[in-house]
């Protein structure tokens, strides 16, 4: 199914669009948050999408990265300058933003020179590191590692913005690909936690937002949880 963006996917939460298939979200509440920033050099497109929601970009209080990968952090540095907004990420991914060649496992190959230069990736300056149980605006931080050491989700009521812990394709919530996981056991534990955490709307970092509670129920049954 093709979606038109931006679109409201939960109360006060907008899927702005996908760049290289990676979704960016705008969440309006106690703070206005831009969550993930696509690949490099799409800052202008993201700002246009923000305006199309009726929200003024200068009202964005903070940029939050669910993890450090290129396709989620690529335009963070430019947007931080454009918006004068601080960038936050989980503490376990903070060091990898500036030193991605230290990535564990096969992921290291994605950041071996000259890949960052070819992709024109600029590491954002991290102003705030987050941990399990912290709050950002009216969202709670859950540490959901596995895809990366510091992958995290943001949860508000029964809505979860889950980064690359899960994907939603063809009406089904699924684990992300295992060969990109830095810790498969941790990824499996994070998926189970999200499936059993009472979420009814799951907003992954790829393909599409899942607004079907039945898909969460199906995932839980598949996991035997």
Q: What is the pLDDT of residue 2?
A: 64
* pLDDT tens per residue across span 31-50: 999 999 999 999 999 999 99
Give the predicted TM-score (pTM) of the model: 0.94
137: which residues sit within 8 A by CB, 6+ positions away? 27, 29, 30, 31, 32, 33, 61, 62
What does the pLDDT read at residue 20? 83
pLDDT tens, residue by residue, 49-79: 999 999 999 999 999 999 999 999 999 999 9
Q: Where are the domains of the chain?
A: 7-223
163-188 per-position pLDDT tens digit:
999 999 989 999 998 888 999 999 99
Task: Report pLDDT for 23.
Answer: 97
pLDDT of residue 1: 56
> Taking a C-beta distance cutoff of 8 angstroms, is the pair 187, 176 a contact?
yes
Which regions of the chain does DSSP assign to beta strands (E)? 7-10, 13-19, 22-27, 33-35, 62-64, 87-90, 128-130, 135-136, 139-143, 152-156, 159-163, 166-169, 172-175, 201-204
| pLDDT above 70 for 133 | yes
CATH code of the domain made up of 7-223: 3.60.15.10
Q: pLDDT tens digits, residue range 80-124?
A: 999 999 999 999 999 999 888 888 877 777 777 777 777 787 889
| Tens digit of each residue's pLDDT (9 = 90 or more) over 112-128 | 777 777 778 788 999 99
């Amino acid at each position: 199914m093709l979606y038109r963006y931006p679109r409201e996917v939960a109360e006060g939460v907008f899927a702005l669009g996908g760049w290289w298939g990676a979704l960016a979200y705008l969440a309006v509440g106690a703070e206005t948050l831009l969550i993930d920033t696509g690949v490099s050099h799409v800052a202008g497109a993201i700002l246009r999408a923000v305006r199309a929601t009726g929200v003024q970009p200068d009202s964005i209080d903070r940029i939050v990265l669910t993890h450090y990968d290129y396709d989620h952090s690529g335009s963070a540095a430019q947007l931080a300058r454009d918006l004068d907004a601080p960038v936050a990420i989980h503490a376990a991914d903070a060091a990898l933003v500036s030193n991605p060649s230290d990535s564990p496992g096969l992921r290291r190959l994605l950041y071996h020179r000259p890949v960052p230069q070819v992709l024109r990736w600029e590491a954002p300056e991290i102003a705030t590191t987050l941990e399990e149980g912290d709050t950002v605006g009216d969202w709670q931080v859950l540490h959901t590692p596995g895809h990366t050491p510091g992958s995290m989700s943001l949860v508000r009521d029964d809505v979860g913005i889950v980064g690359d812990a899960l994907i939603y394709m063809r009406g089904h919530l699924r684990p992300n690909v295992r060969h990109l996981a830095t810790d498969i056991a941790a990824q499996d534990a994070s998926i189970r936690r999200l499936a059993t955490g009472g979420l009814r709307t799951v907003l992954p970092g790829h393909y599409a937002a899942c607004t079907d509670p039945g898909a969460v129920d199906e995932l839980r049954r598949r996991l035997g949880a």
